[in-house]
Structure 1
């Protein structure tokens, strides 16, 4: 039934996100022999071959970051290119091609979950509206990341090499999994963990190898840096810090606050990794800390938390997966405007449930 609900969306065009236009853009550049990491959309439209390569000239007007270089890692780019190649220039066909990858990943994830959890736990993921709508519906590749992370965990006791390969595939789809590397090193032991991390690094570099350009690192990380220091949406702790900044300095302190919160997040990740004995609970804690400190938290970001929490007894990410839809209130009008009261409602409820669960389980574990 979980797969059936996802198949209902097979022929739909995403309605709650426009990220897929950049997926299509990057894929069409790649199948024409162009490196998407070194081409700025706002500059490329001036090229004489622009329409021949991109096809539909209207795609550019739907790009949400035309003045930024792409931030999507190599495995993502591979899926974009395959979908673009099979679609033969059709926007609709391109969307279906991208969705096939996500559907296959979701089927794999449900199979992995069903072998390790009770039926009730799997249903929390299989029928979750956020998971279905944001991953399959809106074409977010967290679905692929989740599958690769589960595969990496599934085989890590048998072969570290294959596990590291799957983990590198996850990193090469979205870079988020890098934040749990310290936890993995602690879980495996320092020696084995460092070897594992090194193998992951080698595989990741091999994925990037076809795109190597002298300006690649500068352009890729300039976009990532701008993302953390310029963009803000549906944040929690950052919004409180920002408000304090307005009261004290009279302007938005995102440039400074972003760096300070990043440092605190890194420190917290190291502490959680060192103190935690359970891999899934540790990963849940690290992801929770990361999103709590982030300046931008789109609804689909919560999908990784939902997937991980299925393997624990914590359920606050499930509540968040319903409450996070409140963030879409910002798009009720053409003029983007967040309702901070709704943001406050969202996070006050989530943090209340989270604090209750952590206090409850920690008390029981201490008995």
Structure 2
């Protein structure tokens, strides 16, 4: 046994050292980083991305080692509170309400505290720590998320760590599920299995999902499972699974029109029907006359009130400022037109692009979501994770660069008033747009060379 271990170490010495170095950096990130320390944050993430790249480069055919590395990196965060996000306090708060049979969509935390009629474990700490914006708004987390929050609250008892641990285990299992179905889908598409480790080992994925307890990973587990079933022509089974993805995070809703050309109208109708019925079934426990108004109002705030790490919107805002417009006037006006831009863009990709194959469908999804983020007023770092997974199944890799560059947006947390630095955002988006333009031109050249070769063969 000892001989085997020594032999394995000699064969994989450098990757093992890279793995150990990554563990050290993740440990430092989890236990010795304050989010206001931007120089330390950006240095750690730069080092982790470099080590991720080298690990995949050295061991892309050693999937067991890469899998082990990904799991170990996640386990580092198991018993620590999130270091970059306070959202988990609201998750546990909502979960406590659901456990008591109360609807988290009907009263804001501010109202609940003001009335003082509800007993919630650690209520004072949760309320004080969730942040002013969260406390004054209704919950915007879809129904399946609420059930997970309730599960976390159930296992937390009077200790928040119990709730954190429950959510973290669910998120880690979801990532492993993404790896399982993602590899199957890659094999179905005759693509290399190691590509999925650009997701599984990506520092943004590990830090923002396992570390900061964002549920994009759970959404993506159901999403990739449904896409695998779709690739197997099992669209009726894929529909309820996709509905679970939507019921975790609403993002996949934007892709629904893309399935019309992929499935054809005859199959699309039952596909949509099953999705609708499944989502409605999950909503029934929370439905009331006030629910729709409260929920749509809260979602609408993301278009007309909040702004963070925006690209095109920041340019428009700067031009508006020069012309004497106030910030609140600009975001209100932009918030009114951006949904229509999104709808037009989705319809163009739905009816002009050929989405017949799974690969072309993923490519359309990638561009739809990318353009949506470019016109959004709020692009939190964890939003990019969906793009990372989509890119694995396409010829584009700009999302991986974006996943590294997006950490620049955390400059805002180094300031007491969370003020963004436009110069830093310019660096982030110049890098992203530069890579996108390079990849588009590269793909055009490749297609041109391919068509010339085919023409010469025919000649």
Report the TM-score range of the alignment, normalised by the length of the smaller protein.
over 0.9
- Compare 152-161 and 211-220 and name the one that shifted more: 152-161
Answer yes or no: is the 8 Å Cα contact 1:167–1:200 preserved in 2. yes
* Alignment partners' CA distance in 2, 1:244 and 1:54: 48
Confirm or deny that 1:145 pairs with 2:219.
yes
* Distance of 2:262 and 2:350 partners within structure 1: 8
The 3-state SS of whatever aligns with 2:120 is helix
Q: 2:333 aligns with which of 256, 275, 286?
A: 256
| Match of residue 428 from structure 2 | 346
Deviations 1:257-282 (A, max 9, x none): 12222211211111112233311101
Gapped regions of structure 2 (runs ≥ 5) = 1-68, 355-359, 452-459
User: What's the CA shift for 1:360?
Assistant: 2.0
From 119, 123, 126, the counterpart of 2:200: 126
Q: Distance in 1 between matches of 2:116 and 2:313?
A: 43
Gaps of 5+ in 1: none
Contact 2:182/2:228, CA 8 A, preserved across alignment: no
Question: Which residue matches 1:3?
Answer: 71
In 2, are the aligned partners of 1:231 and 1:296 still within 8 Å (CA)?
yes
Query: What is residue 168 of structure 1 aligned with on the other side?
Result: 243
Distance 1:47 1:257 in 2: 36
1:291-334 residue CA offsets vs partner (Å, 9 max, x unmatched): 11110000000000001101111000000000000000101132
The residue correspondences of 1:83-232 to structure 2 (distance < 5 A) are 83-115=152-184, 116=186, 117-156=191-230, 157-232=232-307
SS in 2 for 1:57: helix
SS at match of 1:46: helix
Which residue pairs with 1:43 in the alignment? 111
| Greater shift in the superposed pair: 23-32 or 190-199 | 190-199
Contact 1:228 1:258 in 2 (8 A): yes
Larger CA Rg, structure 1 vs 2: 2
Provide the residue aligned with 1:70 in structure 2: 139
**DSSP 3-state at the match of 1:53:** coil
Is 1:58 paired with 2:133? Answer: no
Match in the other structure for 2:400: 318
* Equivalent residues of 1:182, 1:269 under 8 A apart: yes
> What SS is found at the alignment partner of 2:271?
helix
Of residues 332, 336, 352, the one that matches 1:275 is 352
Aligned-pair CA distance for 1:60: 0.4
Report the TM-score when normalising by structure 2.
Answer: 0.78
CA shift, 1:126, in A, is 1.7
Kindly tell me: are residues 244 and 191 of structure 1, through their superposed partners in 2, closer, same or farther at Cα, counting changes over 3 Å? farther
Q: Displacement of 1:142 after TM fit? A: 0.3
Partner of 2:65: none
Segment of structure 1 superposing worse, 329-338 or 134-143: 329-338
Residue 232 of structure 1 aligns to a residue in which SS?
A: coil
Structure 1 residue 206: Cα displacement: 0.8
TM-score by length of 1: 0.96
Equivalent-residue separation in structure 2 for 1:144 and 1:161 (angstroms) = 21
Q: Do 2:175 and 2:217's aligned partners in 1 also have CA atoms closer than 8 Å?
A: yes
Which deviates the most, 348-357 or 111-120? 111-120
The 1-side partners of 2:281 and 2:233 are apart by 23
Poorly superposed stretches of 4+, deviation over 4 Å: none
Matched residues, number: 366
Report if the CA contact (8 A) 1:185-1:197 is conserved: no
Asked if structure 1 preserves the Cα contact closer than 8 Å seen for 2:93 and 2:123, the reply is no
The answer (yes or no) to whether the contact 1:69–1:219 under 8 Å persists in 2 is: yes
Deviation at 1:158, TM superposition (A): 4.2
Structure 1 residue 83, shift from structure 2 partner: 0.8
2:237 and 2:284 mapped to 1: Cα distance?
Answer: 20
Structure 2 partner of 1:307: 389
* Matched residue, 2:100: 32
* Range with bigger deviation, 297-306 or 183-192: 183-192
User: Could you tell me how far apart the structure 2 residues matched to 1:48 and 1:251 are?
Assistant: 38
Post-superposition CA distance 1:245-268 (Å, at most 9, x none):
222242121111122222112111
